Structure 1
């Protein structure tokens, strides 16, 4: 996971495309004690509930054939937007000096999306990244997984 223990007062962001937990380690590297500081959630129904129209069709040039056009995946788009919103929250928090160090834990796709939106002020404070989805684990389980 991480190559070194999570220090005292280091923040931990555990996020996916619909939920974000902002935790702070109030213990030390050997005996972590994560406390929840903030929770953000997004209501993002499945794509089938968000799409209103049938997928489009397009005429192929010069023939009577029609090709299907891939429909927008609104659910996936919502996850990407949520990742960008979370990085905006991180920027505001970093700018106010709320945290000096942060570890970011998110599924690979969300982590990649977040990296694209990191402000330099946030990127300079990221001391570790883990490409895993821990959002549905209780806090004590997250402590154990990150301490291992």
Structure 2
């Protein structure tokens, strides 16, 4: 298996590290071959209890050809995480200072929501996507992970 080449993050390029609960926006104050990621913004979602704590009703039942069948319960927890990811995408559009390049590092489900929610002008500047959850890592660990790929 060959190692992936290191990710080159342009000077003043931004890195969004997100999952369904937390988002970090980092800006590269260094250069592509010598990055220096600095925290620009940290956003955390409000408390989001598990779905079984949010809903108390039994699943709805429907009749289909003489059989009764349950309808899957709404996953309120998942919906809240998707809403948070969409809010993060909107927030990036309002971020102070121009963004020349964007790297998105997110858990796979969050990455999918972000892809759909990003405004067109931000989609055009995405230089890389990494489908991993690194939100629990320190900034130096994130930088090391991205640049030592």
- Taking structure 1 as the reference length, the TM-score comes to 0.88
Q: CA deviation at 1:31?
A: 2.7
Choose which of 44, 49, 53 in structure 1 pairs with 2:53.
49
Residue of structure 2 in register with 1:75 after alignment: 77
Q: CA deviation at 1:135?
A: 0.5
- Taking structure 2 as the reference length, the TM-score comes to 0.88
**Cα deviations by residue, 1:36-74 (Å, 9 ceiling, x for unpaired):** 11111112222222123121111223x2x3211100011
The 2-side partners of 1:17 and 1:104 are apart by: 14
Going from structure 1 to structure 2, the CA distance change for 1:109 and 1:15 (only over 3 Å counts) comes to same
Q: Does 1:19 align with 2:22?
A: yes
Number of aligned residues: 144
Going from structure 1 to structure 2, the CA distance change for 1:6 and 1:37 (only over 3 Å counts) comes to same
Residue of structure 1 in register with 2:124 after alignment: 124
- Unaligned regions of 5+ residues in structure 2, if any? none
Equivalent residues of 1:84, 1:113 under 8 A apart: yes
The 2-side partners of 1:147 and 1:22 are apart by: 17
Going from structure 1 to structure 2, the CA distance change for 1:89 and 1:2 (only over 3 Å counts) comes to farther
Q: Secondary structure, in 3 states, of the residue corresponding to 1:128?
A: strand
RMSD: 1.7
Equivalent residues of 1:16, 1:106 under 8 A apart: yes
